[in-house]
Amino acid sequence: MKIRVRYFASLREALGADESVELPAGSSVAVLRDALVARGGRHAEVLARGRAVRAAVAQVMADDSQPLSDGAEVAFFPPVTGG
């Protein structure tokens, strides 16, 4: 299945605005993130499991167990901090 991945804030600066990823049917946010990390380079650096990264599926906050469907849009972004 084809997933559209969008990046925001510092992740966008490191990886660009968006990309498409092919995943097996039944994949989750965790599978997507692991597939991106497996690419190595900047993907591995900014999306590594030890890094604080949030995800949203179809503009709704999601955790790693969120299942994905063909054509889903997943956004990754750093946690928001503020005063």
- Return the sign of the alpha-carbon dihedral for residues 55, 59, 61, 62: negative
7-35 per-position pLDDT tens digit: 999 999 999 999 999 999 999 999 999 99
Q: What is the CATH number of domain 2-77?
A: 3.10.20.30
Residues 52, 47: Cα–Cα separation, whole Å: 8
* 28-44 average pLDDT score: 97
Quick one: what percent of the chain has pLDDT higher than 90?
Answer: 92
Residue 83 reports pLDDT greater than 80? no
Long-range pairs of 41-47 with CB within 8 A, sequence gap ≥ 24: 42/14, 42/15, 43/15, 45/14, 46/10, 46/11, 46/14, 46/15, 47/11, 47/76
For residue 80, the model assigns a pLDDT of: 75
For residue 82, the model assigns a pLDDT of: 52
